[in-house]
Amino acid sequence: MPTPELPSETTDCIIAHVWPDIPTLLNCALVCSRWLPASRHHLFSEINFPSRSSYDLLVARVLHSEHMRPWLASVRSMEFIELRGIGEGRWLPIPPAEQIGQLFLRDFIGQLPNMHSLRFQGEDWAQCRPRPGAFAAFSQFPSLSKLDLFDCFFPSFAALRQMLSALPALSSLMINGAQWPVSSNPHPVSAVGPNSRPRLETLYFVMEGVNDAAREFMDWLVQTASRSSIHHLEVFNGFDPTTDPWSVISSYTHLFAASVDYLRLVYVESSHLYPTSRASPACLSTSSQAYTDARTGRASRGCCKPCGARCIRSWSRLHMRPSSTLTHRHPDGIFIASSMRMGWRSWTRSWSTSGSKG
């Protein structure tokens, strides 16, 4: 009498629920040949590289193997964090010559047809420049819809612009601390247009004050299709004490008023940032907050908790008291949530007030 077996659909579903428990998935892959495809599919779905040796293994045993290379189609997400822990929650950047993200542009262009999320942190393309045309080759990631750039350095704004314009499916972009030399000759207006990529729906943008690089990026973006496609815009800003933050808020709301439903501005006084030459402000994060959909008029109340700052680099720490979320209705009809520096009592008082507004 044959040994009863669970249907493949059932075991595949069970294995899918095991993810992201990597050790258990590895054990599942060893049970029998019937369990191997589903186990490998989930093992390949998210890839990060704790060391250079792990990257070299992927290249040698998967990319250069005719038998294993097809599994790269299972990759949904890749992450390159070019930072080295030095203890006590502190990190230092890996020297550019040792960064594996540089190799990624050489090895994996055109090899990841289903990857939808890519993150670079600490990548320095300014000192270790990729081959010519590498940024334009991002067009060979047809499914990439989410790109995160943390503390990355570009040889020029043209390189960043080329990367973003090349991605055909890009809809969500996070730029936190990206830097490039400000161009004395900005790109010509004729180079972009209302149908030009990217066509973003979500933008998270972190910048140190209203500087020339940030302005160069926003001036270019507003000339692309993103001007009429962005629905969710969050800007984290270190303002100069002499800058009127609401004038900056007003400029963003007018630039993207045609499409934005939700705009969130987080700003702190730049004097609370330790001075640094090549480091970005720490990324601030809060949970969901009360907001109003500008198109439906419905109010939804979440919870907003005070947040501390995360140290992205050991020499770049942002000290911050609990922040508040204040709601404002802009004349253009866009909801604005702005986080402002204040003490705990002020935070609880302002949150109670904003939460009671319909």
Helix axes 212-221, 157-166, angle to 10 degrees: 30
343 has pLDDT over 80: no
**Is there a single domain that holds both residue 22 and residue 139?**
no
Contact 92, 314 (CB under 8 A): yes
Contact 256, 205 (CB under 8 A): no
CA–CA separation, 103 and 196 (whole Å): 29
CA–CA separation, 128 and 123 (whole Å): 9
The verdict on residue 157 lying in a domain is: yes
CA–CA separation, 345 and 128 (whole Å): 48
The least confident of 135-149, 162-176, 286-300 is: 286-300
Helices marked H in 209-358 — which ranges?
212-221, 245-255, 344-356
186-195 average pLDDT score: 56
Only one residue has tokens 């599942």, namely 28
**Is there a single domain that holds both residue 84 and residue 27?**
no
Burial 300-330 (b: 16+ CB within 10 A, else e): eeeebebbebeebbbebbbebebbbbbbbeb
**Is there a single domain that holds both residue 124 and residue 26?**
no
Which residue, among 210, 204, 285, has the nearest Cα to 244 in the 3D structure?
210
**Is there a single domain that holds both residue 207 and residue 271?**
yes
Distances from the Cα of 247 to the Cαs of 29, 204, 242, 250, 252, in angstroms? Answer: 57, 19, 12, 5, 9
The verdict on residue 132 lying in a domain is: yes
Number of domains in the chain: 2
Contact 238, 341 (CB under 8 A): no
pLDDT for position 241: 55
**Is there a single domain that holds both residue 151 and residue 14?**
no
277 has pLDDT over 80: no
- Nearby residues of 348 by Cβ (< 8 Å), 6 or more positions away: none
The verdict on residue 62 lying in a domain is: no
Residue-wise pLDDT tens digits, 3-42:
777 777 887 787 787 777 788 888 878 888 878 888 888 8
The verdict on residue 51 lying in a domain is: no
228 has pLDDT over 80: yes
**Is there a single domain that holds both residue 232 and residue 96?**
yes
Helix axes 8-18, 36-43, angle to 10 degrees: 30
| 3-state secondary structure (DSSP) of residue 11 | helix
CA–CA separation, 88 and 282 (whole Å): 17
**Is there a single domain that holds both residue 111 and residue 15?**
no
Domain containing 25 equals 8-43
**Is there a single domain that holds both residue 266 and residue 325?**
yes
Q: In the chain, pLDDT over 90 holds for what percent of residues?
A: 22
The verdict on residue 109 lying in a domain is: yes
**Is there a single domain that holds both residue 164 and residue 289?**
yes
Residue-wise pLDDT tens digits, 68-77:
999 999 999 9
335 has pLDDT over 70: no
According to DSSP, the residues that pair with 48 across neighbouring strands are 79
Contact 267, 238 (CB under 8 A): yes
